[in-house]
Homo-oligomer: A and B are copies of this chain.
Amino acid sequence: MNTITRIGGYETLNSAPASLHADVVTRLRDYLVEGHLLPGARIPERELCERFEISRTPLREALKVVAAEGLIELLPHRGARVRQFTEVDIRNLFEVIAGYDFVAGRLACARITDDGISAIERLHLEMYAAYLRRELTDYFRLNQMIHLAIVDAAANPVLSANYASANAAIRRLRFSANLLNRDRLSDAMREHEGMIDALRRRAGEELGLLMYAHMQTKRDAVCEFMREQADAS
């Protein structure tokens, strides 16, 4: 028998067969992150009930939770809408995520195993290969995996949960931004080189600051991209 699946207490990351409620929250979040609904679109309660084969009550509970996470917004008597992130929203999110990366870098150096370092080095090499081949999908995926691996190495479930939540909001956006800012890739690669080096030396303070600066740079790149998009339209 599996262990009890606690909800709250940051245990929802378990892949255990969670309760219906937790399951619905996860499915709803994924559905949104995968971009089936356009930003600003009304969320069709009735339709999602049919899709998930549940009644309105559990769906509405999930909507409130996802709204609290910031993926959607609830307009009184007007239903739920897919959150429209402005440039300022994204900027704010990146600044918080940069803080998570800072903490992750510091703690990871203190807590990661040698095998953990090797694993991240391998990911880094793979990412470098993808960079050379200009395979942006792989590059992006590996990039994400490296950051996640460092966050996980910090061995702090609270950090991991918050990081995941904040990232959900910007995942899609970041990909498009990377796509259109190819020229930024070489800088990002250089920054990653430095990060891996600091990790290898377990220089926590240095890694933390590097990761923070790295995310601030990304923040600026993404925001610039958003402004271009906005101007174009």
Contact = CB atoms under 8 A, between A and B. Distances in A.
B98 A157 contact: no
Contacts of A162: 96, 162
Interface string A125-165: 00000000000000000000000000000101111001000
Contacts of A98: 103
Contact of A8 (B21, B70, B157): B70
Interface in A1-53: 4-12, 19, 21, 25
A80 B7 CA distance: 9
Given A57-B57, A103-B98, A158 B7 contact: no
Contacts of A223: none
Chain A interface size range: 35 or more
Given A6-B74, A57-B57, A92-B158, 6 more contacts: A7-B73, A8-B73, A8-B74, A96-B159, A99-B159, A102-B103
**Closest 8 A/B residue pairs (Cβ):** A8-B67, A99-B103, A7-B74, A8-B73, A99-B99, A92-B158, A9-B73, A19-B76
5 contacts: A6-B74, A8-B83, A65-B65, A95-B158, A102-B102
